[in-house]
Amino acid sequence: MSSSLSLRYGCNPQQTPARVFIKNGDLPITVHSSSPGYINLLDALNSWQLVKELKLTTGLPAASSFKHVSPSGAAVGTPLSDVLKKIYFVDDLELSPLATAYARARGVDRMSSFGDWIALSDTVDVSTAKLISREVSDGVIAPAYEPEALNILKEKKKGKYAVVQIDPAYEPEPIETRDVYGITFEQHRNDRIVSQADFANIVTKKKELSENAIRDMTIAWVTLKYTQSNSVCYAVDGQVIGVGAGQQSRVHCARLAGAKADMWRLRQHPHVLNLPFKTGIKRPDRDNAIDQFLQPDVTDAEKANWKNIFSESPHQLSAQERRAWLDGMSDVVLGSDAFFPFRDSIDRAAKSGVRYVLQPGGSNRDEDVIAACDEYGMTMVFSGVRLFHH
């Protein structure tokens, strides 16, 4: 092991020299294959914290799919329905619990996860390695690898796939620093772990909070902790189904995450499941075609290209068909990394089946937001914990 690792360049090719290093002791990471880049390692270290904490707080294998230092998906290893297996393109595989967690994390927003960085909470088994081997990805970080799984991953991209192992016992110093424009910032690490007490302050008339809701609130809480702020996420069934990251307005976060949650739901529509793809169309091309097919404003020029994808021209869902299908979505958790300053995010959330809301509270308009939740019959929790991440 070493205290320093040289990199080809920083965020961009013109930013040289570049390296990662540790001031005391050895780096807690070992590179088994290829050479991860600066952004790869930012994704790796942020995503590792997320899955490590999800495993700690839920007791389940966890996975995340990261792009540009925010998760496009995060999940724990709960069983998949046949429909989810199909839309995640894993209905031909036997999946371990860890592989199931990654199938969920990767499958929820396949366009955003294209070329992702993967984090896994447990030893990577052959099932998970086989799944990773056929997806477009930049690299993976995990605490350990089964020998056969490591060999599978080393062969990916003709040996250019980044495989990183991290010491699961590693704990950084409590004080962290960063340099911006030659000036050093210092703060205590955000090392507070989610607890059941975070869900105790229910402020709405409706007080129901099921075990599944608590699990999904936990997933939302931990995901937001490692998502670039402002951030909002929707979660259900053991996974995040939409992330809105890095927006300046909270309602824009809610709209972005809600649009992704809606897309996840619409991909399960029988009409979409039975789209007439031509033989040999690759998964990324299917992802793009499905996304385009589900847009309400597809142009004639875009439709003309469908002859290269579909064996026959498909009928698009009407606005009424879309709304009827989306109305079947329920028990969704809406999580926010900071308070809602207006009720508009709650109004948007109601369109995507949200039944539970998790937020810190503390706005001057908290009563307006509580009233909105009461109107929709939602249960809202004030955690009292802000989760900004920059």
Which are the contacts of 108, defined by CB distance < 8 A and separation ≥ 6? 72, 73, 75, 239, 240, 241, 242, 260, 264
Catalytic annotation on 389? no
For residues 135 and 106, is the Cβ–Cβ distance under 8 A? yes
Which tokens belong to 364?
A: 């001057």
Q: Are 234 and 334 in contact (CB under 8 A)?
A: yes
Can you give the C-alpha Rg of the chain in angstroms? 21
Is position 67 annotated as part of the catalytic site? yes
Cα(243)–Cα(254) distance, integer angstroms = 8
For the chain, helix, strand, coil in percent to 5 are 35, 20, 40
Q: Which of 63, 101, 112, 106 is nearest to 260 (CA)?
A: 112
According to DSSP, the residues that pair with 165 across neighbouring strands are 30, 142
Q: Exactly one of 46, 85, 230, 260 is catalytic; name it.
A: 230
Cα–Cα distance list, 372 to 216, 273, 336, 369, 375 (Å):
21, 35, 16, 5, 5
Catalytic one among 52, 55, 67, 260?
67
Catalytic residue among 68, 157, 271, 303: 68
Q: What angle do CA 47, 169, 337 make, to 5 degrees?
A: 35
Marked catalytic residue, from 23, 158, 315, 390: 390
Strand partners, 236: 239
Active site residue 188: no
Question: E strand or H helix at 8, and its extent?
Answer: none
Kindly list the catalytic residues: 67-68, 230, 390
